[in-house]
Amino acid sequence: MSENIRASLTVLFSEEEINIRITELAEQISNDYKEKKNLVLICVLKGGVFFTIDLSRKLNVECEIEFVELSSYGENFESAKEIIVNKDLICSIENKNIIIIEDIVDTGRTLNYLKNDLKINKKPLSVKTCVMLDKPSRRELDFEADYVGFTIEDKFIIGYGLDYKNKFRNIKYIGYMKKLINT
């Protein structure tokens, strides 16, 4: 990471805080799904990948892991306007219990689109959503995630899957940029 990026970053949640919170979420989900069968985690690429992997390894219930890749037309660092499916599900989720795993819910458009699409077109038994971060002040439609790691203010976040111009996803902590920098 270049010096000017590092200098503009403030840590919001450390690696340890993320780990503790994921352990709590995993306990909650394991408890909620202990009587249920056929749990499928659907990771929203690319941002949800670290969260999905870390969360899944802490679950005490059996699950499958599948992937979809979504982006939004005209996406820069601003959020989704029109959702584009880059990679669709390649398996059937009929009669399965789905948890969609995503890095962040911002305007709510991405998760709202995916949740409705799965429900309408793929006949799952249930669909819930789980996000590491929630920025409720940015919401453009009525959408609430079922499991939320941290609720945050309107800041531009990078790290732990979240990118700026497709970089910095692999930063281990969750940070925000005090100002946006040309990379």
Catalytic residues: 106
Give contact residues for Mg ion (rule: CB under 5 A): 47
The 141-160 site mask, x for binding ligand IMP (CB under 6 A), equals: ---------------xx---
Residue whose CB is less far from ligand IMP, 56 or 107: 107
Q: CA-to-CA distance for 44 and 66, rounded, in angstroms?
A: 9
Residue whose CB is less far from ligand IMP, 125 or 156: 156
What is residue 42's three-state secondary structure?
strand
Quote the least distance from Cβ 36 to Mg ion, whole Å.
27
Count CB-CB contacts under 10 A for residue 82: 11
Q: CA-to-CA distance for 150 and 18, rounded, in angstroms?
A: 9
**Considering the rule CB under 6 A, would residue 47 count as an interface residue with ligand IMP?**
yes
Quote the least distance from Cβ 69 to ligand IMP, whole Å.
11
Continuous H helices in 39-138: 49-56, 109-121
What is residue 26's three-state secondary structure?
helix
79 binds, among ligand IMP, Mg ion, none (CB under 5 to 8 A by kind): ligand IMP
